[in-house]
């Protein structure tokens, strides 16, 4: 299969919408990372997502929708969902809700569970494609499973060229880490920190979020122990590089090959994280030492990705 690159204009979006209608896969830009999109109602298309990524079938997918009204087609809505959607949609927040009996989604999307993960992306190209296709889009990150998430179209091509129909080129992603995932199937629970700070969500709810136990069953994307990983080994909270290590800095770390944010800005660091890991991989780094990152705001999402990237790989 030859992978086409589509321009982010009316013609490119129309071509992407036709490919989606034909059951094909298109990598699309969102504000968080590039997603590998297929019609969430089409079992063959969803199966192609798992095949292209080499993704385990027990790992559920996020369904991207235009807005809260569309989300209510697939998940049982509630007051808390309404409050969070009004505050943060479109944006980097995914809500896990009870699956409606008449949702019409492929069972592969939910990995056979009775809940569904829903998000309304903010990126104008993603929103235009949702409108043009008229389809709910299952769209995990557009990379090989377990690898570094893609924040540029070149990252997608490196991993998936020849495995998918097209890449819709929207340039670099603004947020740079995946969405924050909140379960509303019971007590509001943080399933994955991400591009929306937890503090903002708790302020909107007027309550603290419960935390998922790391040894509980996988109920949402991004919960596998080893994930987002470069080829290199990684050592975290490093004050300096040891022999043979390449240093990834933060806040102006002396001797860093790359710095996530020289000024110590966590928003800038989140946007740069995966791009810098891709660059270190491409540069042939065999071991990466990562400077300490403050564990608040977007720092929680950055540290979550780094811990999973540094975890022992399953292969």
Distance CA 296, CA 290 (A): 17
Q: Can you give the pLDDT at residue 226?
A: 62
User: What are the φ/ψ torsions at residue 294 (nearest 5 degrees)?
Assistant: -55, 140
Q: Can you give the pLDDT at residue 156?
A: 98
The residue behind tokens 């999973």 is 308
94 and 198 fall within a common domain:
yes
DSSP code string of 26-47: EEE--SSS-EEEEETT-HHHHH
Q: What percent of the chain has pLDDT over 70?
A: 94
181 and 294 fall within a common domain:
no
Q: Can you give the pLDDT at residue 181?
A: 97
Question: Is the pLDDT confidence value at 314 over 60?
Answer: no
Count the neighbouring beta carbons within 10 Å of the beta carbon of residue 78: 14
155 and 302 fall within a common domain:
no
106 and 33 fall within a common domain:
yes
Q: Can you give the pLDDT at residue 201?
A: 97
In a domain, 254, yes or no: yes
* Region 13-17 average pLDDT: 98
Alpha-carbon distance values, 67 to 36, 75, 130, 193 (Å): 19, 12, 10, 22
Q: Identify the band that residue 207 occupies on the pLDDT scale cut at 50, 70 and 90.
A: very high
Alpha-carbon distance values, 197 to 16, 93, 118, 190, 269 (Å): 32, 10, 18, 11, 14
User: What are the φ/ψ torsions at residue 310 (nearest 5 degrees)?
Assistant: -90, -10
Instruction: Give per-residue pLDDT as tens, 226-254.
Output: 677 899 999 999 999 999 999 999 999 99
pTM confidence score = 0.89
Distance CA 130, CA 66 (A): 6
Mean pLDDT, all residues of the chain:
93
Domain that holds residue 239: 233-310
- Assess whether the previous peptide bond of 90 is cis (omega < 30° from 0): yes
158 and 241 fall within a common domain:
no
Here the CATH number for the domain that contains residue 69 is 3.90.870.10
199 and 253 fall within a common domain:
no
Out of 211, 243, 272, pick the residue that ends a domain.
211
198 and 302 fall within a common domain:
no
Q: Can you give the pLDDT at residue 145?
A: 87
* Region 56-69 average pLDDT: 90
35 and 183 fall within a common domain:
yes
In a domain, 262, yes or no: yes
Instruction: Give per-residue pLDDT as tens, 144-153.
Output: 988 999 999 9
Q: Can you give the pLDDT at residue 315?
A: 45
Instruction: Give per-residue pLDDT as tens, 153-173.
Output: 999 999 999 999 999 999 999
Question: Is the pLDDT confidence value at 83 over 60?
Answer: yes
Question: Is the pLDDT confidence value at 15 over 60?
Answer: yes
């Amino acid at each position: 299969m030859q992978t086409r690159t589509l321009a982010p204009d009316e013609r490119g979006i129309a071509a992407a919408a036709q490919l989606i209608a034909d059951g094909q896969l298109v990598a699309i830009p969102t504000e968080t990372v590039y997603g590998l999109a297929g019609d969430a109602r089409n079992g063959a298309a969803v199966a192609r997502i798992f095949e292209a990524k080499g993704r385990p079938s027990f790992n559920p997918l996020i369904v991207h929708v235009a807005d809260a009204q569309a989300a209510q087609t697939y998940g049982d809505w509630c007051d808390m969902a309404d409050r969070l959607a009004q505050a943060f949609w479109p944006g980097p927040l995914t809500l896990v809700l009870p699956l409606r009996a008449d949702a019409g989604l492929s069972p592969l999307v939910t990995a056979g569970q009775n809940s569904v993960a829903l998000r309304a992306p903010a990126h104008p190209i993603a929103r235009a494609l949702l409108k043009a296709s008229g389809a709910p889009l299952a769209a995990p990150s557009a990379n090989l499973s377990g690898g570094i998430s893609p924040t540029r179209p070149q990252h997608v091509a490196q991993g998936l060229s020849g495995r998918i129909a097209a890449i819709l080129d929207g340039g670099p992603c603004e947020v740079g880490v995946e969405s924050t995932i909140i379960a509303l199937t019971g007590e509001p629970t943080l399933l994955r920190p991400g591009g929306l700070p937890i503090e903002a969500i708790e302020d909107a709810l007027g309550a603290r979020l419960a935390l998922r136990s790391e040894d509980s069953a996988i109920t949402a994307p991004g919960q596998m122990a080893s994930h987002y990983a470069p080829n290199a080994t990684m050592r975290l909270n490093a004050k300096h590089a040891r022999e043979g290590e390449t240093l990834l800095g933060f806040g102006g770390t002396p001797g860093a090959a790359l710095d996530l944010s020289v000024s110590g800005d966590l928003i800038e660091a989140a946007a740069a994280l995966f791009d810098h890991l891709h660059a270190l991989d491409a540069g042939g780094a065999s071991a990466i030492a990562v400077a300490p990152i403050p564990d608040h705001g977007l720092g929680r999402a950055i540290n979550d990705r780094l811990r999973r990237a540094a975890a022992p790989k399953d292969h």
